[in-house]
Chains A and B, each alone.
Chain A
Amino acid sequence: MRIIVPIKQVPNTNDVRIDPKTGTLIREGVESIVNPEDLNAVEAALGLRDKFGGQVVVVSMGPPQTEEAMREVLAMGVDEAYLLTDRALAGADTLATAYSLSRAIRKIGEFDLVICGRQAIDGDTAQVGPQLAEFLKLPQITYVRKLDVEADSVVAERVLENGYEIVKASIPALLTVTKEMNRPRYPTMSGIRLSFREKEIHWWKAEDFDAEPWRIGLEGSPTWVKTTFSPPRKAPGQILKGTAKEIGREVVRRLTEKNLI
């Protein structure tokens, strides 16, 4: 099986804070990580390769430092890595990103599955997966937490708000997986050695994967950010003091007053 996994390097948003004076993001000291659900996607791909044989190919669009993320997944056991890095790709919204990834994947060649993480923790849109599926004209199954391959189809468990459904799609197909899918493996010592010493990362510029200039980067993005601001702070409330019993009584009194009980 040949499986392609698009990944993204993101700032660890759990550690991001707002500067109280300026209201802007403090990014220093915030480490860059592989987007968590992309690791679940890589693990899913590696699991299928372990079972059926084949290759796992990772592709990522980003600045040159994305190489760190690629080395990390190569150390997990990924076979091939393609890094799309070019000034012209910068400023892309999800449509332009999905377009760029789709052209690169076309250039990389035939595949059976594309497995993506459901969403990135910086953009939080969950759009690139389905948009990529549309560009590649593939059937899509989103919110996957379990999958199996049989004959020429993939059967997946898709999470719903209340329950789940079992969906079957013909291969080739695109899936987006959630963190419930699996526990990503740690790189082994030999994996790390192989990743840094022997495995090659293909560095591609826009012209290397036949991307039309007017469809990539800022130029190719129908949406753009007008302003950013920190979320409005609520007016401070009251601190209730006393013994547990007193607090209990006070809370119930106040809530009853406000007609909430």
Chain B
Amino acid sequence: MGIVIIADKCTGCKLCVSACPYGAIDMIGNTAVLNSRCNDCCACIESCKVAAIIFEGTKRERVDVDLSQFKDIWVVAEQREANLMRVATELLGKGRELAEAKGQRLCSVLIGHKVRHLAQELFEHGADVVYLAEAEELSYYRTGPYSRVLSELIIEYKPDVVLFGATTIGRDLAPRVANRIQTGLTADCTKLEIEPGTGALLQTRPAFGGNIMATILCTRSRPQMSTVRPGVMAVAQRQPGRSGDLVEKEVKLRRADFSTEIIKVVKGEKRHVNLEEAKVIVSGGRGLGGPDRFALIEELASLLGGEVGASRAAVDSGWIDSLHQVGQTGKTVRPRLYIACGISGAIQHLAGMQSSELIVSINKDPDAPIHRIADFAIIADLHSVIPALIEELKSRGKTVPAGASGQAAAA
């Protein structure tokens, strides 16, 4: 019953050995042979080009997983060029809550090259254990090597929950790993809680462009995996000097892992737009009427010490670079102050900024939905209001910081 390798048909090509995420296939001589680690995930069947592997048995069923074997909350600590990304510390904050609720440990996975020093930062943000996997081939993120290392760690240590930042890396890595492990993954969670009684992870996320919220469960498989956007969870409190256990994993990569090659990395020539960490954001939308009006937005943002944001309409019209886009298909932000200028407030935009501490809306249309979620709604022409705001700030001694002009990246 289950996976069977037909020895006579096996050509010894070893594709199945590479495909198996559990290391359940050994080569004896020139023939592939199953060992006890096989759990019928069928990855080998799909990889065999000569149909030498079959699934035998009259009733093929899912293998029931013993959920109680899976413990601990894991956070995949995203690092780029040996710098820890802020989203990792945000996830550790939420991870600690989940770990406390379950009476389990909070662990973090650190994958890269020359990143060992980041473990201390992870311990100080609440990790009890850091799993470290280092190799030169892991310097830059690539799907193949990273998904192999992470899958092997998960299979070996059996975490209950694994959290990733929903970044260009997380959204590339998490589904690949979820699939290799054959488990469930929920994207862009805005809320994570432990269900009282069952101990299951309740994963809440927006769908239909933000029009609706859905709470998702992953009941039959483990680990329960989620991605969370940067800026959604609060950063964990730092406890300087806190320590934990460092577990080093030996990295053994295979040729098959290197199917992609990074030829060149080009950093944005424009000043890095860090909306997710901004305390103040002034955003412009269709009501601005054109790209040159963003100069007003820039000036106001500079005087307030903030960043420039934009609605999708402004970006799609080519008035400003998409790096500034806030919303469902842009960035999620939670600044202390968000000023929306000439933005109607479509649900997809709100999805990206509604957690801002204080929202000010400036839109001459009294029916614009943005006014309904604003703390201070200004139903007036932004072309008069913004200059008035700028004048008032300047009269109180505010100035535009040197070198800040031209900060908005042109489309």
| Residues of chain A at the chain B interface (Cβ within 8 Å) | 11, 13-14, 16-18, 25, 93-95, 98, 102, 106, 121-131, 133-143, 155, 158-170, 173, 180, 212-214, 221-231, 233-234, 236-241, 244-245, 247-249, 251-252, 254-256, 258, 260-261
Contact = CB atoms under 8 A, between A and B. Distances in A.
Contact of A239 (B140, B174, B371): B371
B337 A260 contact: yes
A18 B212 contact: yes
18 contacts: A95-B179, A102-B46, A125-B187, A126-B175, A127-B175, A162-B267, A165-B265, A212-B42, A212-B60, A214-B62, A222-B221, A224-B219, A228-B207, A231-B212, A237-B376, A237-B377, A245-B392, A255-B358
Contact of B396 (A126, A133, A234, A252): A252
A229 B388 contact: no
Nearest to A219: B62
Given A165-B266, A237-B376, A247-B385, A226 B179 contact: no
Contacts of A137: 19, 46-47
B52 interface: no
Nearest to A129: B175
Contact of B185 (A16, A94, A166, A252): A94
A142 B214 contact: no
Contact of A130 (B55, B176, B188, B209): B176
Nearest to A26: B211
A247 B266 contact: no
A228 B213 contact: yes
A214 B61 contact: yes
B184 A222 contact: yes
Interface of B: 19, 42, 46-47, 55, 60-62, 140, 143-144, 147, 167-168, 171-172, 174-176, 178-180, 182-188, 202, 206-221, 259-268, 272-273, 280, 304, 322-323, 328, 336-337, 346, 348, 350-351, 354, 358-360, 371-381, 384-385, 387-389, 391-393, 396, 398
A126 B214 contact: no
CB-CB nearest 4 A-B residue pairs: A248-B388, A222-B184, A139-B259, A13-B209
A163 B268 contact: yes
B388 A135 contact: no
Contacts of B322: 180
A14 B375 contact: no
B290 to A, nearest CB: 20
Chief secondary structure at chain A's binding surface:
mixed
A240 B176 contact: no
B186 A13 contact: no
A143 to B, nearest CB: 6
Which of B267, B336, B389 has most chain A Cβ within 10 Å?
B389
Which of B62, B259, B359 has most chain A Cβ within 10 Å?
B259
A124 B265 contact: no
Given A161-B167, A251-B378, A228 B214 contact: yes
A131 B216 contact: no
B176 A134 contact: yes
Contacts of B144: 139
A94 B259 contact: no
B378 A240 contact: yes
A122 B207 contact: yes
A137 B47 CA distance: 7
Contacts of A140: 143, 172, 176, 260
Contacts of A229: 212-213, 215
B208 A25 contact: yes
A123 to B, nearest CB: 6
Given A130-B176, A165-B266, A167-B261, A225 B216 contact: yes
Nearest to B85: A161
